[in-house]
Homo-oligomer: A and B are copies of this chain.
Amino acid sequence: AQEKDVLRTEKLLKELVPEQIAQLLETTPPELRHFIWEHVEPEHHGEVLAHLNEEVRTKLLETLNREEIEELAEELETDDLADIAQSLSDENKAILLEALDEDERVAVETAMSYPEDTAGGLMNSDVISVRGDVTIETVMRYLRQLGELPDNLLELIVRDRHNHYLGVVKLSDLLTHEEDTKIEELLDASKPAVLVLTPAKDVAKLFEQNDWVDAAVVDSDNHILGRITIDDVVDIIREEAEHAQMAQAGLDEDEDIFTPPLVSARRRAFWLGINLLTAVFAAWVASFFEDTLDKIVALALMMPIVASMGGIGGTQTATIIIRAMAKGVLSGPNMRALIRKEILVGTLNGLFWALATGAFAWWWFGDALLGFVFGAAIFINLVAGAVAGALIPVILDRFKIDPALASGLMLTTVTDTMGFFALLGLATVIILRHSV
């Protein structure tokens, strides 16, 4: 049976591309991962590691022995090695660096010196650059000498004699011009290079907006350092989207889905605890109206309804605002117009649902005054939700706090508290005062 497993695994792995193998590893319980890893073809090791999420990668690398690490040093390119080195234990990092020759070691150490989430962390060092004052014929001879060219090579980077970035020249232009044409005649100097410390997020925006497939990376003196290709940028875009989704639930997108339950539980407990605090705060506000609750039990049934309607309405507004902010070109007056619109939408829905729910509560509890209080509380909370949903993301953004992470929580605090306060406060003032 063991042997059959091996054969089946090898067959399966042959049909998968590295990214799929990485996903397979992430969705496989940890104890089986090393077994799969051993059967991945060595030439895919680097790309598989590059696609793994951080926690899974770190754990997998811990299970490798000296031989397997030395094998990695041999197979992988320097930019991949730099990525991986950051997840290795100090001991294993030393093994890896020792296994490299001098040039490679310097390249890896340079690459490691840039933060992972910058252009420097994304770039490969496999740059092919040519001087502007040579002819197409010379370039073609040079390329033939190189033999193996990088994947997805669309254009060559053009430099001066001091390795300063000048622009790019398209391979297709090399093909369609006479061989004695000088490179500088074909140079596209309008395409900028990316500064090495540009945040990865901004790099992704540049690629998207300009429909780039690759770009040169330079230091602040305009020296060419490396090249970023679109496939790395696509990964960034995916990760960003994942981050937004996970952050809303207080989760870390780099978490291994098979983290031991006790560890997962501890991490998530934090978020549950914060939520508990906000829920308790709302309950504490409501507790000032215990007398009212004691006299009108129906209010206890209405409290969660009022809170949830405000929360939903506010979430809709906050989602729209967060998306508009992410688009990034919302100027002051337009943002104010959008906020006004959102508050108006909340008011309109508040009016509609106040009438609908008020009538419903009148029918359910057979009490017109109670129906009025319920409807009025719904109206107040839908407006409060819209106002909070519009302003909270803007305020968080101004304080450089990720709106995706904190908006939901702060919004619920507002809508829960305001919902309880409006409902119980109105009931106290209108119903109790009248009946006593």
A426 within 8 A of B: no
- Bound Cα distance A144, B382 (Å): 64
Q: A272 is contacted by which of B28, B146, B297, B353 (Cβ under 8 Å)? A: B353
A280 and B299 form a contact (CB under 8 A): no
Chain A 327-345 against B: per-residue CB contact (8 Å), 1 yes, 0 no?
A: 1111100100110010011
- Bound Cα distance A262, B249 (Å): 31
Q: A345 is contacted by which of B231, B268, B319 (Cβ under 8 Å)? A: B268
A257 within 8 A of B: yes
A259 CB → nearest B CB, Å:
8
B319 and A248 form a contact (CB under 8 A): yes
Among residues 295 to 328 in chain A, which have CB atoms less than 8 Å away from a CB atom of chain B?
A: 297-305, 307-309, 312-313, 315-316, 318-320, 323-324, 327-328
Chain A 272-306 against B: per-residue CB contact (8 Å), 1 yes, 0 no?
A: 11011001101100110010011001111111110
- Bound Cα distance A151, B149 (Å): 21
A390 CB → nearest B CB, Å:
12
Q: Interface size bucket, A side?
A: 35 or more
A300 CB → nearest B CB, Å:
3
Taking chain A's interface residues, is the majority helix, strand, or loop, or is none over half, making it mixed? helix
Chain A 149-161 against B: per-residue CB contact (8 Å), 1 yes, 0 no?
A: 1011110000000
With a cutoff of 8 Å between Cβ atoms, the chain B residues found around residue A177 in the complex are 144
With a cutoff of 8 Å between Cβ atoms, the chain B residues found around residue A146 in the complex are 176
Among residues 247 to 283 in chain A, which have CB atoms less than 8 Å away from a CB atom of chain B?
A: 248-251, 257-258, 261-262, 264-265, 268-269, 271-273, 275-276, 279-280, 282-283
Q: A309 is contacted by which of B250, B276, B300 (Cβ under 8 Å)? A: B276
B349 and A268 form a contact (CB under 8 A): yes
- Bound Cα distance A287, B357 (Å): 17
Copies held by the complex: 2
With a cutoff of 8 Å between Cβ atoms, the chain B residues found around residue A151 in the complex are 211
A31 CB → nearest B CB, Å:
10
Among residues 350 to 367 in chain A, which have CB atoms less than 8 Å away from a CB atom of chain B?
A: 352-353, 357, 360
A304 and B265 form a contact (CB under 8 A): no
With a cutoff of 8 Å between Cβ atoms, the chain B residues found around residue A240 in the complex are 241
- Known contacts A353-B272, A357-B276; A20 and B209 CB within 8 A of each other: yes
Among residues 211 to 227 in chain A, which have CB atoms less than 8 Å away from a CB atom of chain B?
A: 211, 213
- Bound Cα distance A143, B171 (Å): 12
Q: A211 is contacted by which of B28, B152, B241, B353 (Cβ under 8 Å)? A: B152
A19 within 8 A of B: yes
A89 within 8 A of B: no
A227 CB → nearest B CB, Å:
14
Q: A352 is contacted by which of B20, B265, B320 (Cβ under 8 Å)? A: B265
- Bound Cα distance A250, B313 (Å): 10
A27 and B329 form a contact (CB under 8 A): yes
B269 and A140 form a contact (CB under 8 A): no
A57 CB → nearest B CB, Å:
15
A242 CB → nearest B CB, Å:
7
A23 within 8 A of B: yes
A352 and B237 form a contact (CB under 8 A): no
Q: Which chain A residues have a beta carbon within 8 Å of chain B's beta carbons? A: 17, 19-20, 23-24, 26-29, 139-140, 143-144, 146, 149, 151-154, 170-172, 174-177, 207-211, 213, 230-231, 233-235, 237-238, 240-242, 244-246, 248-251, 257-258, 261-262, 264-265, 268-269, 271-273, 275-276, 279-280, 282-283, 286-287, 290, 293-294, 297-305, 307-309, 312-313, 315-316, 318-320, 323-324, 327-331, 334, 337-338, 341, 344-345, 348-349, 352-353, 357, 360, 382, 412, 416, 420
User: What are 13 A-B residue pairs whose CB atoms fall within 8 Å in the complex?
Assistant: A140-B176, A144-B177, A153-B170, A171-B172, A233-B234, A237-B237, A240-B241, A246-B323, A257-B324, A261-B344, A261-B348, A265-B348, A308-B412
Nearest first, the 10 A-B pairs at minimum CB distance are A241-B241, A300-B300, A265-B348, A211-B231, A249-B319, A283-B301, A261-B344, A171-B171, A279-B305, A27-B330
